[in-house]
């Protein structure tokens, strides 16, 4: 991949998109473009089509999505289903019609069935029912995966889907109503520490197992997919290692320096019991994560402290 190829990163201001842009720049890519949601509404098919006709990108990386945790998915099912389908369908279709050869679609491990065997293999897709607390987002992402697979099959283009495990890192969303578990814990423990190390109440039992990947490692997997022709249409991206939510909470508590109690509210949902990714396909091709969990949490907490006055909040 020539370093001057025009690369359009959709969602370039989000946690994943901004990491992709940073890593691309560090690798010497010089022609990266992005548009804010005010400049280009990705839900508007005509606007997206006109943008592609004007800019003519060589590569499209789709890191744009409406995202959130269990609470947001439960409260706004229609938006999570419809807006994510609109965004990805418009980008995929415009890329096809503009004859773009390389398209990298980013999804989520929630596309796999709730009780699929562990670790999750790519071939488990559509073999059973989804986790009901985030099925709306999952169904949207599944349609994106299948659209890219269909284009690959019918038109022979290099459209590939990367499914990351739970991502976290700098530029994350720390809003307690819409954030994912790791950044929400960072904020809760930090605020409790400031309030005299008051107890922190967390959802669920603490027993579910989860895997976490630092966002810069995810971005490096995108560059890997950019610079190589991957032989299949779907790849998991993760660390291949997981821990309990209780262990995660204790790790974050230690990094933040909170010394109070943790209270588990078992009346709240746990979600999927375990979600560990089988990442052997990416490992066999030559990609592997570099940043371990504690180091990643330390980097994320440092960024949170630096941006505490204006950290990202999602408006619904």
pLDDT > 80? residue 68: no
Query: What does the DSSP assignment read for 289-307?
Result: ----HHHHHHHHHHHHHHT
Nearest one of 211, 101, 225 to 167, comparing CA atoms? 211
Q: Which residues lie closer than 8 Å to 258 by C-beta, 6 or more apart?
A: 189, 190, 192, 193, 197, 200
* DSSP-based three-state secondary structure for 233: coil
d(CA 66, CA 33): 20
Q: Which residues are annotated as a binding site for substrate?
A: 188, 203, 210, 270
Model confidence at 112, pLDDT cuts 50, 70, 90, reads very high
**Tokens found for residue 205:** 């039992």
Domains, the chain, in order of start with CATH, read 7-173+211-242+276-291 (3.40.50.720)
pLDDT category, 180, cuts 50, 70, 90? Answer: confident
pLDDT tens sequence across 82-106: 999 999 999 999 999 999 999 999 9
Closest by CA position to 59, among listed 12, 14, 142, 1: 1
Average pLDDT over residues 61-77: 83
Is residue 69 over pLDDT 80?
no
Taking residues 172-176, report their average pLDDT: 86
Q: Residues annotated as binding site? A: 11-17, 106-109, 141, 164-167, 180, 188, 203, 210, 270
pLDDT value at 131 more than 70: yes
Please state whether the peptide bond connecting residue 75 to the residue before it is cis, i.e. omega within 30 degrees of 0: no
Annotated binding residues for NADP(+): 11-17, 106-109, 141, 164-167, 180
Q: Where are the beta strands (DSSP E) in the chain?
A: 7-10, 32-33, 59-62, 102-106, 158-164, 166-168, 200-203, 209-210, 212-214, 234-237, 243-244, 262-265, 274-275
Choose the catalytic residue: 8, 137, 168, 235: 137
Average pLDDT of 175-198? 91
Res 256 pLDDT > 50: yes
Mean pLDDT of 269-288: 91
Phi, psi of 235 (to 5 degrees): -140, 135
Contact 235, 282 (CB under 8 A): yes
pLDDT, one tens digit per residue, over 234-249 is 999 999 999 999 999 9
Distance CA 159, CA 179 (A): 29
Which regions of 27-165 does DSSP assign to beta strands (E)? Answer: 32-33, 59-62, 102-106, 158-164
Which two three-digit tokens encode residue 171?
Answer: 């530029």
Any idea what DSSP says for residue 107? -
- Give the pLDDT score at 316: 34
- Residue 154 CA, chain-centre distance (Å), reads 27
Count CA atoms closer than 13 A to 288's CA, side-chain side: 7
Q: 301 catalytic, yes or no?
A: no
Confidence tier at 313 by pLDDT (50, 70, 90)? very low
């Amino acid at each position: 991949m020539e370093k001057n190829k025009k690369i359009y990163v959709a969602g370039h201001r989000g946690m994943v998109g901004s990491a992709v842009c940073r890593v691309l720049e560090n690798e010497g890519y010089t022609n990266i473009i992005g548009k804010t949601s005010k400049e280009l509404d990705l839900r508007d098919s005509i606007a997206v089509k006109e943008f592609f006709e004007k800019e003519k990108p060589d590569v499209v990386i789709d890191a744009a999505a409406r995202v959130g945790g269990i609470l947001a998915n439960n409260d706004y099912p229609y938006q999570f289903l419809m807006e994510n389908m609109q965004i990805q369908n418009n980008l995929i279709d415009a890329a096809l019609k503009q004859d773009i050869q390389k398209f990298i679609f980013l999804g989520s491990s929630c596309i796999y069935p709730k009780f699929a065997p562990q670790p999750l293999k790519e071939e488990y897709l559509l073999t059973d029912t989804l986790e009901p607390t985030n099925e709306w987002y999952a169904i949207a992402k599944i349609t994106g995966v299948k659209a890219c697979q269909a284009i690959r099959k019918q038109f022979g283009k290099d459209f590939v889907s990367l499914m990351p495990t739970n991502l976290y890192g700098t530029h994350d969303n720390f809003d307690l109503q819409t954030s994912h578990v790791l950044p929400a814990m960072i904020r809760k423990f930090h605020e409790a520490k400031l309030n005299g190390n008051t107890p922190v109440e967390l959802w669920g039992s603490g027993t579910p197992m989860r895997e976490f990947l630092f966002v810069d490692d995810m971005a490096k997997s995108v560059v890997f997919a950019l610079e190589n022709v991957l032989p299949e249409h779907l790849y998991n991206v993760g660390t291949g290692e997981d821990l309990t939510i209780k262990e995660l909470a204790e790790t974050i508590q230690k990094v933040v320096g909170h010394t109070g109690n943790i209270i588990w509210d078992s009346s709240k949902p746990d979600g999927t019991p375990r979600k560990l990714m089988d990442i052997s396909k990416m490992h066999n091709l030559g990609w592997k994560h570099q940043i371990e969990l504690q180091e990643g949490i330390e980097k994320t907490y440092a960024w949170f402290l630096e941006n505490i006055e204006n950290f990202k909040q999602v408006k619904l």
